[in-house]
């Protein structure tokens, strides 16, 4: 898989370029991984509800065809877009999401940070009181009782450090995952991140990890390259 570092790229043309790339027959181009950061932009997923955009101000709001609700992209955030053929790689969608999250978890671990999954809420989270603790979260994923509503995610004591949203068309995946490195986090207060009022968002800088954008970008790219190259369960 070819890895392309795009630098800072406007969101709308990047979104269109992804769709154009995916629309071409798979043999015409190699699969690629795009790594970039975007100027400030709010993006709405297919399930996005406008009321979760509280006060966008001068930041544009762009509807997209990825899954999920609303999120924010801005300078200091590493955005990774794998443009791959899931069927050719023998990866189902649920496994694909797991691998994207696992790449973030392994990237954070390289910088001494322990990331966590939260049941029912894709993305990666860290403890606000001790991002370096390896202790199991008190709110372990609760079992879904058949016939009962799905348990609501429990974000107690956690901050979100990476968001995930994908689209699969004709077995080809695009969109991807965003890791917060050293951002202006204020725009997250203008939305309900991922549709959850009050969900706190953090980055590596605010939890005391002085990593550069380039260091985080290259580590995340390497982890994605490894995990997405593996057939079956990694």
Contact between 166 and 100 (Cβ < 8 Å): yes
Contact between 216 and 179 (Cβ < 8 Å): yes
Phi, psi of 111 (to 5 degrees): -105, 15
Which of the following is catalytic: 194, 211, 217, 221? 194
Q: Does the active-site annotation cover 36?
A: no
11-20 exposure pattern, b = at least 16 Cβ within 10 A, e = fewer? beebbebbee
Contact between 219 and 107 (Cβ < 8 Å): yes
Dig out the tokens for 103 from the structure.
Answer: 């790449």
**Residues 202, 207, 212, 215: what is their CA dihedral angle, to the nearest 10 degrees?**
-90
User: Catalytic residue numbers?
Assistant: 194
């Amino acid at each position: 898989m070819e890895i392309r570092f795009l630098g800072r790229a406007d969101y709308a043309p990047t979104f269109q370029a992804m769709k154009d790339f995916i629309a071409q027959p798979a043999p015409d181009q190699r699969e690629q991984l795009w790594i970039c950061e975007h100027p400030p932009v709010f993006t709405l997923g297919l399930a996005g509800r406008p009321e979760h955009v509280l006060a966008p101000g001068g930041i544009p709001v762009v509807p997209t065809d990825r899954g999920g609700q609303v999120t924010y992209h801005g300078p200091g955030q590493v955005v990774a877009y794998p443009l791959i053929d899931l069927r050719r790689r023998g990866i189902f969608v649920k496994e694909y999401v797991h691998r994207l999250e696992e790449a973030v978890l392994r990237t954070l671990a390289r910088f001494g940070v322990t990331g966590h999954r939260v049941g029912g809420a894709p993305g990666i989270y860290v403890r606000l009181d001790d991002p370096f603790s390896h202790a199991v979260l008190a709110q372990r994923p609760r079992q879904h009782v058949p016939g009962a509503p799905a348990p609501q995610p429990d974000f107690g004591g956690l901050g979100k450090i990476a968001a995930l949203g994908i689209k699969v068309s004709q077995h080809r995946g695009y969109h991807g995952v965003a890791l917060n490195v050293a951002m202006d986090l204020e725009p997250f207060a203008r939305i309900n991140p991922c549709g959850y009022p009050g969900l706190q968002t953090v980055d590596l800088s605010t939890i005391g990890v002085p990593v550069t954008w380039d260091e985080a970008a290259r580590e995340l790219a390497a982890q994605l390259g490894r995990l997405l190259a593996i057939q079956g369960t990694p």
